[in-house]
Every structure is written in C-alpha cells, then in structure tokens.
Structure 1
Amino acid sequence: MKLKYNPGLYRRAVDAHRGLSRLRALRLRLMEHTYGRQWSDLITTDDGRILSEYDHALESGMRPLTNNLLRSLVKSIVGRFRYNLSAAEKPDGSEELTAFRKANQLDELDSRCLEEFLISGCVIQKLVCERRPGSPLAVWADNICPDDFFVNRFSDPRGADVRIIGHFFRVSLAELKLRFGHGSASRCAMLERCYANSSGFNATDHAAVCHVAEVWNFDIDPAAPADDPHWHCRFMAPNGTVLDETRSTLPSGGHPYAFKFYPLTDGKVHPFIEDLIGQQKHINILITMIDHILANSAKGVLLMPMDAIMPESDIRDVSRVWSRPGGVIPVNPAARMMPQEVSVSSGASRDASQLLDAEMKLFQQISGVSGALQGQLQASNVSASLYESQINNSAIALLDIYESFNSFRCVRDSIAAEMINTISH
C-alpha cells in the first residue's frame, strides 16, 4: 500500500508557522535581554553603519555595563508561584490524575512553563498517551518549544477559533521506522525512499535527522453525523507525504495541545517582559554613564609645584609618599605655591544617580513587583503589617498573569483526564 500524499495540508501548516514569525522574533529578543544580552540590539550610526549597542558604546569610549533586573524579576514571580504551590492544599482530582501529576513532575514542568510564559507570552504543552522506557502505558505532558509550534491566526483567548495546530519535530531514521513503519519491511522501505531526496539526507545512516510535522486540523466527516465534528491528526514529511494518520481518540473529539497566548489582543501577543525592556535599557545606560563619569573625573590628584620639592627629593618620591597612608612630604617653604589636591565632585554624576533611582522605582511600578515581593530588606521604620501589605499588593498586580496561566493548567489537566479515562475503559 502506497503512502498518502497531501501537500496542500502541509503548506497550510507551513503558512501557520510563518504567521508566528513575529512572535518568534520577539521571543528571541526578549530571551536575550532576560538572560543578560541587553546590549545586543542593532542601531544605525550617524555615518550609516549598523552596529550592536555594545559595539557602539565601546566605540564611544564607554564600558557597557548590565544590571539585569529582568532576570531577577522573572525569578521572583516564578518563586512566588512555587511557594503558592507548596503552600496550597493537595489539588482536587482522582488518584489517576494525582499519579499523572507526580509522574510528569508537573510542579517543575509548570515552573519552566511560567518562565516561558512571562518572557514570550506563550506556553504550549502536548498530551500523549504512550509507553515510555521504564514506564507502563500512561499519559505524558511535554513542553513544546514555540519555535516549533504552529497554529492558524486566532483571536479567541480560549482558542475556540483554531482550525489547524501542531508542531515540527526531528527524529532519527531508526526512530522514524519504529514509529511509522508498523513493523512492515515494505513500509519502512517506503519511508526511506520518502526521505531519500531530502537535502543532506543519507538513507543508509540510521542516525540521520528526519523532519516531521504533526498536523491536527478540524474536519467535518460527511460520513459521520452532522453534530460529530472532530480533529484529525496526520504526521507528514516535508514533501507532503502522510507518514501516518489518526482521528482524535478523545471523547470530546479535540486535539491534544494545551496552550495559552498572553495577553492576546487582536490576535497579537504582547508579553509581560516586553513592557520592561525600555526601562531596563535606560537603567543600563545610566549605570554606564555614571561609571564613565567617575572613571574620567579628577580624583585625589596632587598639584605639586616643582619649586616646592625639597632638593634631596624628586617627583617620584613625592608620588610614592602621597599614596602611602600617613605619609609626610617635606615642602620647600620658599615655594611660590604650596601643593594642593584636586578632587572633582561631578554634578552630572549626581544627576545621573538621581535619575537612576527614579528609573528603578518606575521599573517596580510598571512591573507591579515590589521589593517586598522580591524579598528585599525594607527600611527599619517599615512595620510588619505594611511589609505584608506590599507583598499582597504585588500579588494582586500579578493576579491576571497567574490566573491566565492557571487557566492553561486547567485545560491541560482536562485533556489529561480525558486520556486517562480512555485508558481505564
């Protein structure tokens, strides 16, 4: 039996993936800034050259410095989430669902998902029912990288208007045959031929990488009752060959992906971290400016008239004694001018420091995360009740993020419960 061929559906999947290109580019930028590469944006200089902000700062004679508040902010929010998990009572649900949570180490998995959610504004998991090494048949939750994920443009925050969804993944030729060969030598040979024409692919190399698309699309089967629409899954090669296909086994007829884009406005995502990039960059610029001013200001410079140096000394002796604590420099009393120290207190440095302090406060106001929530020590005159109030206010400011993320977890658990019931029956 020949493999089926459906290039039109594969093109739809590729088009859906391209439709998320802006989100992927934004995610990459926000990831770089969150993890410390905060001078990586490109700028155009006055003479038309394109340089990174880092290189431009170096050319300007400054030393680019980074005070990474974004990473600290993300860690604080994820830490509060884990604290809430540990402080909460055991979640409701059947023993099977509790076993699912334990087997998948969902507290750890969800913490990493929340980190992704804060940075990129999206979180994606796929539920699958299968046997894995060392485990019986069970339901597994896997995080899906947004770079591999695709979905049609949708505007409903619940994803009710999604019609095609899936992700791209890579497997070895040996695994490809194991998963889609169905134990048939002739079918395995067809799979080899399917990938033989792929660029750089060697059919004799069982470790060769095979690119596969898992495509779920919403079908209305003419042979089925009119009120029985369902999701159809096809595993596809890059040339449109259908490696395998199946209909949704869930009682609801749904697809196995749980995902959430936040906040979804007009079909576009505007991540939490995106609002703070401008403040973070300005803080880095101010710190670099203060460092540059201090490094180039006169500090503790000694003006030593040559006729004030005693005959038995020279300027090197004076320099050596001047740098020594408690040193005494003999001076010629007949000199026209006595030695004096020059130490410049820069007003520009003070102004930059005040602006930096204002920027740090703005950063907290925009993020909604106070120093109390981050565990920072407060002034001695701050009462315990006020400190607790600051923590609660920050928690309220983040409530929308937490609740949106929890709605994703509820959808995930609902799909898992459907799969568990399918196994049990």
Structure 2
Amino acid sequence: WRHDSMDCWTDYVQPNNFFIDNCMRDFRGWDVSCLGEVHDISFQELAGEFAQSPEDWHRLREMYKNTHDRQVIANYGERFGYSRLQNYDFLFTADPTRCRVIEVWRRESKPRWRCHDWNSGEVYKIDTEDYHELVEIENERRLQEASEMGMPSDEVPLIETEWFIDNYWYFYYLSPWGDVLREGETPYEHKSHPYVFKAYPFIDGEIHSFVADVIDQQRYTNRLIMLYDWIMRASAKGLLLFPEDCKPEGMSMEEIADEWSRFNGMILFKAKPGVPVPQQVANNCTNIGISELLNIQLKFFEEITGVNGALQGKPGFSGQSAALYNQQTQNATTSLLDLLDSFSQFVKDAALKDVKNMQQFYDARRKFAIHGKNAYVEYDPEKIKDVEFDLSIMESTSTPAYRMMANEILLQLYQQRAISVEMLLEHGDFPFGDQLLQSIKAQREQLEQGQQPEGISPELMQQAQQGANMAAVNKLYDAMRGSAAGESE
C-alpha cells in the first residue's frame, strides 16, 4: 500500500546503504551470492512491520534501547567484525530517532526432491522432510485405489522424484545486535532478490570509475591552475615605488598612497638631481606557457574520453557544416555506446522484475492508458499470469527535428492522396491531433445518422493556432472538411 493504492512500486536505493558480494566476477552480476541494504526507519515503522503481538512490541523496545550507544555497539561489533567508513557506520545510525535494520539476501542451498506428477503433469520441488507424506503416502494411496478398481499397477500415474541440491534465495532482516527480525525464502515467483543494480565499469571484481582514465589529466590540470593562481598572487600588481627623498613636506605616506590612486589626483614635490621620480610596477606574468599547457590537457580530455564539444552542445566554428557537426556528435556517441547500452540493460532488468511482480500480485483486471495516445489496454490476470514473455525497450528518437521531418513526410503523402486524414492524425505528432481525430470521428457518426455535421469548435482552433504552424493547421482543417464532404457524397 502506498498513496492509498496497492500497486507495484520501484524504490531508489542509496548506494551508501547498499552492499554486494565481493566474490562477484561476472560484469552482468549473475554470480552475486550476497547483497543487501541498510535501512534507517522510525520505531513506529519498525513496530508496524515486525511486531505481530504485544510481546513482539516489548521485545523490539528492549532490543533497540541501546542501539544509539556508540561505545556499546563498537565493543559488540568487534566480536564479528565491525566495518565503518568515514562518517558512516554499518551498525548504528547518526540520527538518534531512527532504528537500524539490516536486510540481507543470500543464495543458499540444501537437498530437496524434484517431483514430476504424471497425473497432473506438474513439476515441483519439496523438502526432504516432506518426502514421506507428499510422495510415498500419495503413491501408496494411488496404487491402493488402482488395485481396488482392477487397474494394473504399471499403468498407475505415480509421482516420480529426483534428489538434487537446490539453490535458492533466502532473506534476513537483522538488528545491529544480530537478532533475526524476520527470515524466509524469497516470496517472489521470479525466485530472485528484489534488487536491480549495475556496476559499470566492472572489471575483474573491481568497480572502476568512468572517469578513471582522465584522473591523471585532471590532477595535472588542477596543479597548473593552482600554479597559475600562486604566481598571480605572488606577482607585483600596481606596486608603487616612491623614493624617500621625493616625499613632500606636510604629507604622510598614507596620504600619498591615497592621492596616487585617486582619480585626477596630484602630488606636489620638489625634484632633486639624481633622485628617480616615483613609478608604479605591474608585472605581467601571464605569458609563461601555462595557458598552452592547460589547452593541451583539456584536449587530452576529449581525446581520451571521446566526449567532444559537439556532444556537449558547444557551438561549432564559423563555416562548419551541419553534416560535419552531426558526424562529430555521432562519433562521440559511438565511443559512449558501451556505457549507454549498459544503462539500457539496467533499465530493462528493472522493468523485467516489475512485470514479473505485476504478473504475481495483480489479481484483478486493470485498465492502463497508453502514453501519448487516447487508447487503453486491459490487463487480465487469468490470461497473463503464467505467460512467459520477452521484454524489449527501445530508446525514443522523437526529437523536435525528427517530429518535424515526420510531419512533413506525412503531409506530403496526404497531398498525394496516399493516406487518409485519419492515418495522418494517428501517425503524426500534432499537439491537437487527438482532439481533431475525435472531431472527425464524431462528424462521421453524425453523417451516418443523417445529421448535419458541426464545424470545429473555436477552442480547438485557438489551441491549434497557439501550438502549431498556421499553414499546417489550415492543411489539416481542409483535409478534415474534404473527408467530411467525401463521406456525405
């Protein structure tokens, strides 16, 4: 239940609260055997989730009364290995109003029996302690009924079994003291854990940063900028050299400095032979080669990562062709193809588990609206519940330039009478297309009933004028009138 609705929800997991198996080597994450999450919840949420009786409520209060004593937990944690990052602890929360719950999912194994019931065709597995009751007694009962009916024993459909080691996912909800708040085998029909994660790039059991290749360039760039800043701070900027022999009578050095920097200021002094006049020193320390080194390092960023200015949206140089700019963007996207495909696979895996949960927990018919279209599909759990499916997610190419090009092609096809106005509105992307299509269908129904069709409402025309090109609006309006006239004829 969430937002007064029972539905399938996808939650974001903070990476600092998530842990995975350090023995994993498959970059797809298929060989993970242990993972989990650290939860910080209020005591009310804790009691509402894990307390089923007054005794459980009192047990939770006693259990969590010392969970905020860092010294107690640190001493207790040394018994089984206490891990702590900087400003982040595994066993206790920094907020004294929250309670720490550790959720762990492990891949475990134990001996079981795989059963094939030839009477119903069902294949299932049972625990070893249930073998006598569910298999032996059931087969004896079937043989006894067959003998009473005079049926040969070799024709009786018995339950055939096979012993095997079953691998399954098992979950634990633990307190910081190691108390098991809840445990059990995975309740999901997809027989896996409820998390979806993607470590990229994941090489030989280590998660490397995407920008690891340019760390050295970034460090050298920071060093050059700091050196540039240090030289500018240490250089002379408007330093005044004022000889003592030139000091006028009746003026202090502070008054001289103030008058020197004043607009239209004047200092009157008596020049002496052999004494230099006051002068101001400004050292230009910019042209010492640091700018060239910075430009080289910034170019290294583009060459190493492949992310050039075209992909970043920077304007091209004067006279650059659009084809060259698009080709540069395409080349940069190709260099990032592995990263984009990995994220697409992550999105697909998350959607796959969502659909599996919908198949399991949606027990009533539901209607869903198709985004962007005035159409609905109905979900029937009786038809979809046990269906095996393949999920495919495609990236949308519906950019403004693409939509404009598609609309122009559709208008040309309509002008050549290759498509109808209904097909134009259904496949085109017009901000008023759905309402205009409904108006055409309503006029068609009026013509079929022998009624005089009405024109387009002023509100729809105003919306069309505000949201689209007027030329395209006139073409669509003429197309609608032509379609209505054709129906009347």
TM-score of the superposed pair, with normalisation by structure 2: 0.51
Match of 2:6 among 115, 121, 137: 137
Q: Which residue in 2 is equivalent to 1:220? A: 109
Q: Are 1:159 and 2:29 an aligned pair?
A: yes
Q: Given residue 296 of structure 1, which amino acid in structure 2 is its aligned partner?
A: A
Instruction: Note the 1:126-275 alignment, pairs <5 A.
Output: 131-132=1-2, 134-153=3-22, 154-182=24-52, 184-196=53-65, 198=67, 200=69, 208-225=97-114, 226=164, 229-275=167-213
In structure 1, distance between residues paired with 2:257 and 2:181: 81
Q: Given residue 166 of structure 1, which amino acid in structure 2 is its aligned partner?
A: G
Match of 1:416 among 347, 351, 354: 354
Cα deviation, residue 412, structure 1: 0.8
Number of aligned residue pairs: give it.
Answer: 287
- Answer whether contact 2:20 2:32 (CA < 8 A) is retained: yes
Cα deviation, residue 413, structure 1: 0.8
- Answer whether contact 1:176 1:210 (CA < 8 A) is retained: yes
- Judged with a 3 Å threshold, the aligned counterparts in structure 2 of structure 1 residues 228 and 139 are, in CA distance, closer, same or farther, namely farther
In structure 1, distance between residues paired with 2:253 and 2:178: 83
In structure 2, distance between residues paired with 1:317 and 1:196: 71
Q: Which residue in 2 is equivalent to 1:108? A: none
- Judged with a 3 Å threshold, the aligned counterparts in structure 2 of structure 1 residues 314 and 235 are, in CA distance, closer, same or farther, namely closer
- Judged with a 3 Å threshold, the aligned counterparts in structure 2 of structure 1 residues 378 and 304 are, in CA distance, closer, same or farther, namely farther
Q: Given residue 408 of structure 1, which amino acid in structure 2 is its aligned partner?
A: F
Secondary structure class of the residue paired with 1:373: coil
Q: Which residue in 2 is equivalent to 1:398? A: 336
Cα deviation, residue 305, structure 1: 5.2
Bigger relative contact order, structure 1 or 2 (CA pairs below 8 A, ≥6 apart): 1
Cα deviation, residue 329, structure 1: 7.0
Cα deviation, residue 243, structure 1: 1.4
- Judged with a 3 Å threshold, the aligned counterparts in structure 2 of structure 1 residues 308 and 423 are, in CA distance, closer, same or farther, namely same
CA RMSD of aligned residues (A): 3.3
Match of 2:306 among 362, 368, 374: 368
In structure 2, distance between residues paired with 1:383 and 1:223: 68
- Answer whether contact 2:110 2:165 (CA < 8 A) is retained: no
| Segment drifting more, 305-314 vs 245-254 | 305-314
- Judged with a 3 Å threshold, the aligned counterparts in structure 2 of structure 1 residues 377 and 339 are, in CA distance, closer, same or farther, namely farther
Q: Given residue 55 of structure 2, which amino acid in structure 1 is its aligned partner?
A: S
Secondary structure class of the residue paired with 1:139: coil
- Judged with a 3 Å threshold, the aligned counterparts in structure 2 of structure 1 residues 177 and 308 are, in CA distance, closer, same or farther, namely closer
- Answer whether contact 1:309 1:331 (CA < 8 A) is retained: yes
- Judged with a 3 Å threshold, the aligned counterparts in structure 2 of structure 1 residues 377 and 314 are, in CA distance, closer, same or farther, namely farther
Cα deviation, residue 308, structure 1: 6.7
In structure 1, distance between residues paired with 2:39 and 2:262: 67
- Answer whether contact 1:234 1:245 (CA < 8 A) is retained: yes
Match of 1:282 among 220, 224, 240: 220
Q: Which residue in 2 is equivalent to 1:12? A: none
Q: Which residue in 2 is equivalent to 1:18? A: none
Cα deviation, residue 377, structure 1: 3.5
- Judged with a 3 Å threshold, the aligned counterparts in structure 2 of structure 1 residues 167 and 326 are, in CA distance, closer, same or farther, namely same
Q: Are 1:345 and 2:284 an aligned pair?
A: yes
- Judged with a 3 Å threshold, the aligned counterparts in structure 2 of structure 1 residues 379 and 312 are, in CA distance, closer, same or farther, namely farther
Question: Unaligned stretches of 5+ in structure 2?
Answer: 71-95, 115-163, 364-489
Deviations, residues 63-105 of structure 1 (Å, cap 9, x unaligned): xxxxxxxxxxxxxxxxxxxxxxxxxxxxxxxxxxxxxxxxxxx
- Answer whether contact 1:372 1:390 (CA < 8 A) is retained: yes
In structure 2, distance between residues paired with 1:321 and 1:380: 49
Deviations, residues 250-281 of structure 1 (Å, cap 9, x unaligned): 33311111011111111011111333343333
Deviations, residues 317-356 of structure 1 (Å, cap 9, x unaligned): 7755654567677786874345555333337x52222212
Q: Given residue 234 of structure 1, which amino acid in structure 2 is its aligned partner?
A: Y
Deviations, residues 154-199 of structure 1 (Å, cap 9, x unaligned): 00112221112211212222222210123x2233333334445646
- Judged with a 3 Å threshold, the aligned counterparts in structure 2 of structure 1 residues 239 and 293 are, in CA distance, closer, same or farther, namely closer
Cα deviation, residue 140, structure 1: 1.4
- Judged with a 3 Å threshold, the aligned counterparts in structure 2 of structure 1 residues 293 and 244 are, in CA distance, closer, same or farther, namely same
- Answer whether contact 2:112 2:165 (CA < 8 A) is retained: no
In structure 2, distance between residues paired with 1:312 and 1:181: 89
- Judged with a 3 Å threshold, the aligned counterparts in structure 2 of structure 1 residues 310 and 404 are, in CA distance, closer, same or farther, namely same
Secondary structure class of the residue paired with 2:39: strand
In terms of Rg, which structure is larger?
2
- Answer whether contact 1:248 1:255 (CA < 8 A) is retained: yes
